[in-house]
Amino acid sequence: METGAGLVKSGALAAPLRRFGALLLDTLYPPVCLSCDAPVATADALCTACFMKLRAISAPMCPVLGLPFEVSLGPGALSAEAIADPPPFDRARAAVVYNDIARALVGKLKYGDRPELARFCARLMAQAGRELWGPDAVLVPVPLHRSRQFARRYNQSTELARTLSRLTGVPVDPQLVIRGKKTKQQVGLSRDARQRNIAGAFQPSAAMRSRLRGRRVIIVDDVVTTGATVKAVTRALKAGGAERIDVMSFARVVVGSDA
């Protein structure tokens, strides 16, 4: 429409028009909670009740595994898990404890085709992982096997990494590591079975060394459970020449957490 186009081009009127557009959209599709569909004030958010159920992970925490400590153990003190079984990566951080509400969000993120959920999760991850971001880093989402990606048409880790990249300025390279072996779903497997299932599932891509160019890698995943998957990706990255590797997830299992 001639008049409409003229109005949009005019700088003074563009902003009010956009606000009117947003208002109109909100009236037609009022924003709802990403978890329970209760009405909320702004899009891409949880209602207060659901938000209160999320358990953000913050200091004090294990500097290696990012596990929250009840009380501060002093600078540099590691968790018992990190001492007993040192991981192949340098640091892992997660935004929230994997509890019922986090499980519901991740479930929707994986299967529900809800891009606004990736925005919500990535905002919390950008905040929780702030010590990891830097100009020397690259984000590497945990790849799905080709057939699974084809069936689902969506890799939640890639969506999280892309959104995180927009928020942090750290670039994404989904091609550094490939998933060669098709594995069983990790859900329902014991810790040992998970490790056996995932071992050797990932390989560095043929072009990894030239693509990496000495950068630090940050592996991005939705949930870290036993860590078997991110450890397997770390080993593939090391085989391809990466030396510094961190892990950023939306949620992580915290054993003994009451949530």
Interacting residues toward Zn ion by CB under 5 A: 33, 35-36, 38, 47, 50
Q: Which is nearer to Zn ion, 114 or 209 (CB)?
A: 114
- Cis bond upstream, residue 60 (ω within 30): yes
What six digits make up the tokens of 256? 């003994």
> Angle at Cα 215 formed by Cα 82 and Cα 177, nearest 5°?
75
Cα separation values, 174 from 91, 140, 142, 143, 156, Å = 20, 5, 8, 7, 12
Query: What φ, ψ does residue 252 adopt, rounded to 5°?
Result: -145, 150
Report the interhelical angle of 191-198 vs 228-239 (nearest 10°).
30
Residue with tokens 């557009």, as numbered in its chain: 21
> How far is the CA of 252 from the CAs of 100, 115, 224, 244, in angstroms?
12, 21, 5, 21
Residue 120 vs 250, nearer CB to Zn ion: 120
Nearer to Zn ion, 53 or 145 (CB): 53
From the CB of 120, what's the least distance to Zn ion, in Å?
A: 12
Of 35 and 156, which has the nearer Cβ to Zn ion?
35
Question: At its nearest, how many Å lie between Zn ion and the CB of residue 105?
Answer: 10
Smallest distance from the beta carbon of 225 to Zn ion, in angstroms? 24
Q: Tell me 143's DSSP state.
A: P
Between 47 and 253, CB nearer to Zn ion: 47
- State how far the Cα of 5 lies from the Cα of 253, in Å rounded to an integer: 52
Q: How far is the CB of 95 from Zn ion (least distance, A)?
A: 17
Task: Return the number of the residue (54 or 144) whose C-beta is nearest Zn ion.
Answer: 54
Distance CA 140, CA 101 (A): 26
Amino acid at 104: A
Q: Which is nearer to Zn ion, 31 or 60 (CB)?
A: 31
Cα first-last separation, the chain: 55
User: If residue 179 lies in a helix (H) or strand (E), which one and from where to where?
Assistant: strand 177-179
Cβ of residue 127: shortest distance to Zn ion, in angstroms?
A: 20
Query: From the CB of 53, what's the least distance to Zn ion, in Å?
Result: 9
